[in-house]
Structure 1
Amino acid sequence: MWNITKEAKGKFSRCNLLPIHESDHDWEIVLREAEEEGEDIIAALKADLLEVKEELLQILPDCFIPYVENGTLNQPTLPKTIRENYLQWMREADREFEQVLDAAHENTAHAVRSLPAAVQEVFNESLHDSIIERIEREGDTLHLYINTESGFQTKSMIHFTFRQIRAEDTDDPIQVGQWLVYNELQKTGDSFHFRVLFDSPEAEWTITMKHLDAEYFYRPCLYTVLQDEGKMEETSFSEFLAQLNPEHDYWFITPHVTCAIKELSENIVIENGNIEWAQNKMVVTVGKACFTYALDAYNPIEFIYTNVYEDPYAHQNEPVAMDELEQAALSDDIELQVRAWNTMYTNPKELADIINCVLYKMEITEENEMIRTVYVNHFYKEGILTESIIEKYHTIID
């Protein structure tokens, strides 16, 4: 029996079709900001409700139906008791789906213990929001290449190999470009069963096989730095290769081929193939297969991977001395700020006095919204915030 199903995901999604503001204070802020910006918030909310009305009526308890019909379910005029009941109904739906995900995680954790270490390493991190990049089939073997850069993995590319496939079922054939949303792994006897819910297009895919293997690759840390600093386009392929760590192994991975790199040079040498450059295109030949990539559509830097993970921002985890923390956290030096906040995040109880002092002095701006939301909630859960600080930041505390 599967926990992850389209039905469970659909119910969760429908229960969250129409979020509403949770308190009178929230409404005061929303209405004030709308007035300042000249926005007709009431009309906008009516349009939001109308857009999801038909779906809502299919799932809402009867007690909320009148407020859908009269258009007040997401309006500030909704009676407070109804608002609280509706929010409680949404929270219960969230908890129910969290239980589904927890059960799926338990099944996966149990099944993965019987699989190779590389597969266990892959499942140690979430596959959520990964994208299918390549699908290859050979008899009863399926190769599935998953790009995880848009998700929550430190890995950038995962190559799953499903061997001795015994069954495969889907309501819509899997295809390149689909997003992985939720997954669950189970084991029965000598078989493994892998269920995935995909999006764009939506599909529920289940595969049963005797063997599951995986290999994974990382982006060189230089790639991440160039990407984050917006310098990728101005960096040539040869400049990029010249800055890579020569002690690491590298792979050349395109939408069609995966080859170990034998030599890093301007004329890069790949195993069992070759690369040629001509008239704004790159031609990759592997065996008898030949693939052409237009350089205005593909940056060859994106094809370089390694099997060594390097944290490009490891230096930001270097702790700041206690007597320098307050000044660092409030400084204009972004890197120093990050180090200071990371230091406080890691040692909240020991640094409680400094944390409260920093939060008291910190000016609330749009620029520090992320810091405020993430860190304040963390410190609140640690129970180290003073009453005055809780009051100052009460609008962002969960």
Structure 2
Amino acid sequence: MWNLTKEAKEKFSKCHLLPIHESDDDWKMALREAKTEREDLIARLKEELKEVKEELLHVLPGRFIPYVENGTLNQPTLPKKVREDYLQWVQETVKEFEQILDAAHEQTLHAIAYLPMAVQDVFAESLHDAIIERIEREGNTLHLYINTDSGFSTKSHIHLIFNDVIIEESDDLLQVGQLLIYYELQKTDEGFAFRVLFDCPEAEWTITMKGMNAQYYYRPMMYTRLRDEEKLEETSLTEYVSLLNPDYRYSLITPHLRSNINAFTDNLILDKGKFELGQNEIVVSVENQRFIYDLTEYNPIQFIYTDVYEDPYAHFNEPVPTEQIEAAALGNDLELQVRAWNTMYANPKALADIINRVLWKIQITEENQMMVSVYASHFYKSEILIEAVLERYRNLID
């Protein structure tokens, strides 16, 4: 029996169709701001309710339907008891889905213990928001290639191999470009079962197979650094490969193939195949296949992967000398700032005096409020904040 279902996801997503203000103070503030900005808030809210009315009528408990029909569910005239009941229903629906995800996660943890270490490595990190890049079927084996650049895994390219497929069930065909949202892996008597809820387009896909394996690759550290500095587009292939660690092994991975890279010259020397970088296109030839990639759409740099993980942000964890922490945390050098805050985060007891001085002196802005709140909460739990600092941050501490 599956914990994860398309119906559960839809119920969860639809409970957020119509957000409403949660208190009288919120309404007063919203109405005041609308008056200042000369906005007809009431009319806008009526339009918002109208847009989602049909969907709400199918998902809301019956007790809220009259307030949808008369148009007051998201208006300030909604009785307080009804508002509180509606907000409670939203919270309970969210909690219910969180419990479903927790149960799916427990099933996945149980199942991966029976699978090869490579699969365990893949599922040790989240696959949420990964994108299907390639689908290949070979007899009763399915190869699913996913890109996690938009997701949360350090493994940038993952090749999932479903061996001895028994059955596939889906309300839509798998498609390149689909977004992996939620998933659950189960151990079965026959082997394993894997369920995924996709987006763009939405689909529930379940595959049952006797075995499963995986391969994965990383972006070189320099790729991430150049991307974060917005320098990827201006960096040539020749310049880029000169920055790579020559002791590592590299692969060329495109939307259609993977090949080992034997050497870097003006072009890439592939193990099996040929790579050509022209004025307007990239041409990759492997065996009897030839693939062309337009340079306006693809950067050859994005095709280079390695099997060695390097943390591109490791330098941010290098501690700042104690005598420099306060100046660095309050200074304008972003890298030194991050290192200083990380140093304080890791050593709250030893650096209590410095931490209190920094928190007292720092100017809280809209841009840094969330970051400061996270650190202040951590230092509060470490019980090192003096009373004056504690009072200043009381509203920001979680």
Please report the TM-score for the alignment, with normalisation by the length of structure 2. Answer: 0.91
Instruction: Give 2:206's aligned amino acid.
Output: T
CA contact (8 A) 1:242 1:265 kept: no
Q: Distance in 1 between matches of 2:393 and 2:64?
A: 32
Aligned to 2:294: 294
Quick one: distance in 1 between partners of 2:387 and 2:53? 41
Deviations 1:99-139 (A, max 9, x none): 10011001000000010101000000110000000001111
> Corresponding residue for 2:227?
227
User: In 1, distance between residues paired with 2:350 and 2:79?
Assistant: 44
List gaps (5 residues or longer) in structure 1: none
| Contact 2:374-2:397 within 8 A present in 1 as well | no
Give 1:185-224 correspondences, 5 Å limit. 185-224=185-224
Name 1:63's counterpart in structure 2. Answer: 63
Q: State how far apart, in whole Å, the 2-side matches of 1:246 and 1:359 are.
A: 44
The change in CA–CA distance for 1:189 and 1:62 in structure 2 (over 3 A counts) is closer
| Corresponding position of 1:157 | 157
Distance in 1 separating the partners of 2:377 and 2:131:
31
Deviations 1:7-63 (A, max 9, x none): 110111111212223334444444444444444333332222222122222222333
* Distance in 2, Cα, partners of 1:363 & 1:183: 43
Q: For 1:64-103, what aligned pairs fall within 5 Å after superposition?
A: 64-103=64-103
Mapping of residues 282-361 of structure 1, within 5 Å:
282-322=282-322, 324-348=324-348, 354-355=354-355, 357-361=357-361
| Structure 1 stretch displaced more, 148-157 or 312-321 | 312-321
The alignment covers a number of residue pairs equal to 398
Equivalent-residue separation in structure 2 for 1:37 and 1:381 (angstroms): 41
Greater alpha carbon shift after TM alignment, 37-46 vs 1-10: 37-46
Cα deviation for residue 341 of structure 1 reads 2.5
Contact 2:275–2:283 (Cα < 8 Å) also in 1: yes
Cα distance in 2, alignment partners of residues 78 and 382 from structure 1: 43
Matches within 5 A, 1:19-168: 19-168=19-168
Number of the residue aligned with 2:274: 274
CA deviation digits over 1:234-263, x for unaligned, max 9? 111111111111011100000001001000
Change (3 A) 1:211 1:83: same
Matches within 5 A, 1:375-390: 375-376=375-376, 378=378
Partner Cα distance (1:163, 1:61) in 2 = 44
Is the partner of 2:92 in helix, strand or coil?
helix
CA–CA distance in 2 between the matches of 1:390 and 1:57? 47
Structure 2 unaligned runs (5+)? none
Q: SS of the residue aligned with 1:144?
A: strand
The aligned residue for residue 6 of structure 1 is 6
Residue 266 of structure 1 aligns to a residue in which SS? Answer: coil
Q: Letter of the 2:97 partner, please give it.
A: F
In the alignment, the residues of structure 2 paired with residue 242 and residue 4 of structure 1 have an alpha-carbon distance, to the nearest angstrom, of 46
- 1:281-302 per-position Cα deviation (integer Å, ceiling 9, x unaligned): 1211111111111112211011
1:352 positional shift: 5.8
Amino acid paired to 1:90: V
Matched AA of 2:336: L
Q: 323-332 vs 293-302, which deviates more?
A: 323-332
Within 1, Cα distance between the matches of 2:382 and 2:72? 38
Q: How much has 1:355 moved relative to structure 2?
A: 4.5
CA-CA distance at 1:386 after TM superposition: 7.2
Shift in alpha-carbon separation, 1:351–1:231, aligned structure 2, 3 A: same
Higher mean C-alpha displacement, 84-93 vs 117-126: 84-93
Letter of the aligned partner of 1:275 in structure 2? Answer: F
Aligned-partner residue type, residue 217 of structure 2: F
Residue deviations 1:67-115, cap 9 Å, x none? Answer: 3333332234434333322222111111111110011001000000010
Deviates more, 1:356-365 or 1:6-15: 356-365
User: Residue 73 of structure 1: SS of its match in structure 2?
Assistant: coil
* SS in structure 2 of the partner of residue 11 of structure 1: helix
Q: 1:365: how far off?
A: 2.0
Change (3 A) 1:250 1:129: same
Q: Helix, strand or coil for the counterpart of 1:233?
A: coil
Letter paired with 1:22: E
Between the aligned partners of 1:71 and 1:95, the Cα distance in structure 2 is 27
Query: Quick check: 1:130–1:147 contact (8 Å CA) kept in 2?
Result: yes
Distance 1:378 1:174, change over 3 A: farther
Alpha carbons 1:241, 1:266 under 8 Å: kept: no
Q: Is the 8 A contact 2:12 2:97 kept in 1?
A: yes
Per-residue CA deviation, residues 339-368 of structure 1 (Å, 9 max, x unaligned), is 222234444566566545544433332321
